[in-house]
Amino acid sequence: MEDLVAAALAAAKERDRDVADVPLTAIASAAGISRSTLLRRLGGSRAALDEAVRQAGVDPGGRPPVRERAIEAAALLVAERGLAGITLDAVADRAGCSLPSLHTVFEGRDGLLAAVFGQYGPLPDLEALAADPPESLPDTVRAFYDAFAAAFGREPRIVPAVFADLFSRPGGPAARMMAANLPRMFEGLNGLLRPHIEAGRLRPLPLPVLVQLLLGPLITHILLRPVLEPALGAGLPSLEESIDLFADAYLRAVALPGAESGSDGDPTREEP
């Protein structure tokens, strides 16, 4: 089979196409055999050839790239088993690819998990928000909370699994996932908050402190809601109401007088 794999790769390279898109006639020609001989050696189907190419560490094509399939497969496995249950063998089996291809594309398990968080975590929403932010500080804070809450509830449920692992194992894979994505996260948050600091609407605290004040209460609340809901019932505000309360508390803590919040422009004003 090795000679057939080599012939398939050579034919694909010559035509600048995926192996799956190269006719069997061309592969047979590259192997120096007839098409009927090629089919006989393959057992009557090219599926065996595609699998042999895949085992050689090359995606034969004809379906989404290894990177896309592996990220989706890993995300589903994280939601099912948590981060502790994820192995590259399991991802390769779910994604229908080889271990060598995963190592080539992601440079190991940490690289794959970082890519999963980058795609299924809050980063895409944060970057979209930073690219077209609301004008006012209150609207910015509320939009951020909405985006982050949506990321927590999105299927497959990656974000809850990441924070569960992060709190239970500070040096585990979740910590490395977060560390790999922190530059992107802080770049997006800086793009949202920095203009308001420079405009005198937001206290010029260090960005990590502003981010912790912004994220901490919401993350804690969302993670505890499954425990609080049965115990408190109707006494627990809805998530939407809770977000309003957290946004108001954040503005009262860090917004400066004159920030756009309410009709009189004072974020510290008392409600009548």
Which amino acid appears at position 162 of this protein? V
248 part of a folded domain? yes
73 part of a folded domain? yes
255: β partners: 202
Q: Alpha-carbon distance 43 to 180, whole Å?
A: 45
Find the angle CA(27)-CA(28)-CA(30) to the nearest 5 degrees: 65
DSSP state of 269: P
Kindly report the CATH number assigned to the domain that includes residue 83. 1.10.10.60
Based on the fold, state whether residues 110 and 134 are members of the same structural domain: no
Based on the fold, state whether residues 130 and 113 are members of the same structural domain: no
Q: What's the rounded mean pLDDT across residues 84-112?
A: 86
Based on the fold, state whether residues 92 and 134 are members of the same structural domain: no
pLDDT in tens, 190-211: 989 999 999 999 999 999 999 9
pLDDT in tens, 36-68: 888 888 887 778 888 888 788 777 776 677 888
Based on the fold, state whether residues 232 and 179 are members of the same structural domain: yes
246 part of a folded domain? yes
Based on the fold, state whether residues 41 and 138 are members of the same structural domain: no
Q: How many CA atoms lie within 13 A of 205 on its CB side?
A: 15
Q: What is the pLDDT of residue 3?
A: 87
57 and 100 Cβ atoms separated by less than 8 Å? yes
pTM beyond 0.85, yes or no: no
Q: What is the pLDDT of residue 266?
A: 46
- Which residues touch 262 (CB under 8 Å, ≥6 apart)? 269
Based on the fold, state whether residues 213 and 244 are members of the same structural domain: yes
Based on the fold, state whether residues 140 and 235 are members of the same structural domain: yes
DSSP state of 270: P
Q: Is 97 strand, coil or helix?
A: coil
197 part of a folded domain? yes
pLDDT in tens, 130-176: 889 999 999 999 999 999 999 988 889 898 888 888 888 888 888 88
Q: What is the pLDDT of residue 44?
A: 76
Helices (H), the chain: 2-15, 24-31, 35-41, 47-55, 66-81, 88-95, 99-106, 109-120, 123-131, 137-153, 158-168, 173-198, 207-232, 239-254
Based on the fold, state whether residues 86 and 149 are members of the same structural domain: no
- Name the residue among 123, 103, 17 with its Cα closest to residue 62: 17
244 part of a folded domain? yes
* Domain containing residue 191: 122-155+166-254
Number of domains in the chain: 3
Based on the fold, state whether residues 70 and 45 are members of the same structural domain: no
Q: Does 271 score more than 60 pLDDT?
A: no
Sign of the dihedral through C-alpha 124, 126, 127, 131 = positive
- Name the residue among 52, 55, 50 with its Cα closest to residue 101: 55
Q: Does 29 score more than 50 pLDDT?
A: yes
C-alpha of 56 from chain center: 28
